[in-house]
């Protein structure tokens, strides 16, 4: 039989984890097309956002759909650049060069909508 105090403490820890974004591991995949200026800008933008807001708490994969078209088909990528946040849930897709940092932060659930 579990003690009430122990259950209460684990519930508080769980709820605290939900309220502190950026502490969980983010799994991100960025789909781009080659080394075009737009693709390079998207890569730079997402890396800057990750290093600023998720330092040490993210895994970023960059997929060139020219080199790996099967991965793009599997994720049903219809526009590039596309950033997919796989974890933490919910899954999110952000399309564009990621230059609008406010929108990217909202999309990654790092900034609450006002």
- Label each residue of 77-113 as H, E or C: CCCCCEEEEEECCCCEEEECCCCCHHHHHHHCCCCCC
The whole-number pLDDT of residue 111 equals 82
Q: Which stretches of the chain score pLDDT less than 50? A: 1-2, 7, 18-19, 22
- In angstroms, the CA 73 to CA 45 distance is 24
Please give the order of strands across the beta sheet that includes 26-32: 58-64, 26-32, 82-87, 92-95
The whole-number pLDDT of residue 23 equals 72
The whole-number pLDDT of residue 2 equals 47
The whole-number pLDDT of residue 4 equals 52
Domains observed in the chain: 25-107 (3.40.30.10)
The whole-number pLDDT of residue 86 equals 96
81: preceding bond cis by omega (within 30 degrees): yes
């Amino acid at each position: 039989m579990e003690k009430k105090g122990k259950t209460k403490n684990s519930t508080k820890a769980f709820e605290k984890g939900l309220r502190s974004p950026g502490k969980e591991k983010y799994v991100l995949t960025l789909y781009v097309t080659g080394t075009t200026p737009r693709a390079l800008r998207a890569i730079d933008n997402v890396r800057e956002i990750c290093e600023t807001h998720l330092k040490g708490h993210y895994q970023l994969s960059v997929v060139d759909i020219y080199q790996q078209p099967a991965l793009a088909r599997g994720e049903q990528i219809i526009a590039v650049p596309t950033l997919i946040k796989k974890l933490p849930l919910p899954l999110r897709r952000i399309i564009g060069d990621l230059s609008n940092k406010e929108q990217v932060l909202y999309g990654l659930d790092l900034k609450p909508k006002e």
